[in-house]
Amino acid sequence: MLRVIGLQHYGLQVPSLDTGASFYGAFGLETAERGNAVVIRCDGREQDQTLLMEGPVKRLHHVAFAVEPDSLPEWQRHLEDLGLKLLDAPAEVPGGLWFRDHERNLINLRDEGIAPWRAFGTTDANDANVGDRARRIDQARWRNATEETSPQRLGHMLIFSSDVSVSEAFYTRTLGLRLSDRIVGGPVFLNSGPGDHHVFGFVPGEHPGLHHSSWMVSDIDQIARGARKMAAEGFTKGWGLGRHTLGSNLFHYIQDPWGSWIEYSSDMDCITENWQPTDWEDLPAAIWSPGEPPADFITNQEAKPA
């Protein structure tokens, strides 16, 4: 069965490219103009991770997944066999195959692969000493813990869905994503094979839209320093520091200028084909955190499509 090899990037339409570039730049990402768009990248990682395009309101523009090199003809046959209509690529994002899912979200398949992680470095200065397992020897951790937060890659994203079960069925059948875990009546988490517990998923909502994007950083210090910098920049509304249940990652969320959320994340569970998905009942989102998330944490603030 064909399956995507991972999440590559996502596109947002936003009312102000300047506002978008300023926000993502403060978050620790690189921003650059490309034609009529702003490109967001991680420092030292040669791959677009987000594209911002200007429009009257904020909305999720598209989601791009990576597929194996030279596999697009096979993917085209697969999509057409499923009765999906292929579309012309938007002028701002040429290349790949384009189609809409069952809720009219625009999806892009690209065979450019996925860039490797930016290297953590060649020393063990960031290693944690736990119990009698000492890996950081004769090195003062605080000297490295003062580095500015710099996300290493886009980890995952969750979008709103009016029926998460139907969305799960569509993306597992169409893109080959696999179920990682689901909360009954709540979010669904999907993976693309050995690696992160989830790269994509769905949150219940009345209509499509971006819930959050998550960006991997090296450790808890990077999360804490990033959260402090964003608060100093005026982005004080958020949730964290905490550790999630499903995925187990450390997190801190910040609300973006348009009502969605962006997450610093670290220490995500790594799973293989041996992983057994579970339907969880009444599972909290975090095993510890500074209280409950904001009241509008699962409110889709994007306008409902006409």
Q: Kindly report each contact of residues 124-129 with a partner whose C-beta sits within 8 Å and lies 24 or more positions away, as own/partner.
A: 126/218, 126/219, 128/219
In single-letter form, the type of residue at position 191 comes to N
- 120, pLDDT greater than 80: no
C-beta atoms surrounding 86 within 10 Å? 13
Predicted confidence band at 119 (pLDDT cuts at 50, 70, 90)? low
Strands 286-288 and 153-161: unpaired
Strands 238-244 and 286-288: antiparallel
What percent of the chain clears pLDDT 90, i.e. is strictly above it?
84
Handedness of CA 105, 29, 254, 193 (dihedral sign): positive
Strands 59-66 and 106-110: parallel
Q: What is the pLDDT of residues 100-110, one digit of tens each?
A: 999 999 999 99
- φ, ψ dihedrals at 76, nearest 5°: -60, -45
Beta-bridge mates of residue 60: 12
DSSP per-residue string spanning 265-305? EE---EE-TT----EESS--SEEE-SSSPPTTTT---SPPP
Secondary structure of residue 57 in the 3-state scheme: coil
Q: What is the pLDDT of residues 261-277, one digit of tens each?
A: 999 999 999 999 999 99
Q: How large is the average pLDDT for residues 142-149?
A: 86
Measure the CA–CA gap between 227 and 149, rounded to whole angstroms: 9
Q: How large is the average pLDDT for residues 223-236?
A: 97
Measure the CA–CA gap between 241 and 278, rounded to whole angstroms: 26
Beta-bridge mates of residue 251: 242, 265
Average pLDDT, the chain: 94
Cα–Cα distances in angstroms (integers) from residue 190 to residues 111, 133, 169, in the given order: 20, 33, 11
Across the chain, the runs of DSSP E, i.e. the strands, are 6-14, 30-34, 37-41, 50-54, 59-66, 97-100, 106-110, 153-161, 178-183, 188-191, 195-196, 200-204, 209-216, 238-244, 250-255, 261-266, 270-271, 279-280, 286-288
Measure the CA–CA gap between 277 and 180, rounded to whole angstroms: 5
Beta-bridge mates of residue 29: none
- Class level of CATH domain 6-115+150-288: alpha beta
Q: How large is the average pLDDT for residues 201-229?
A: 96
C-beta atoms surrounding 78 within 10 Å? 18
Predicted confidence band at 139 (pLDDT cuts at 50, 70, 90)? confident
Boundaries of every domain in the chain: 6-115+150-288
Q: What is the pLDDT of residues 152-204, one digit of tens each?
A: 999 999 999 999 999 999 999 999 999 999 999 999 999 999 999 999 999 99
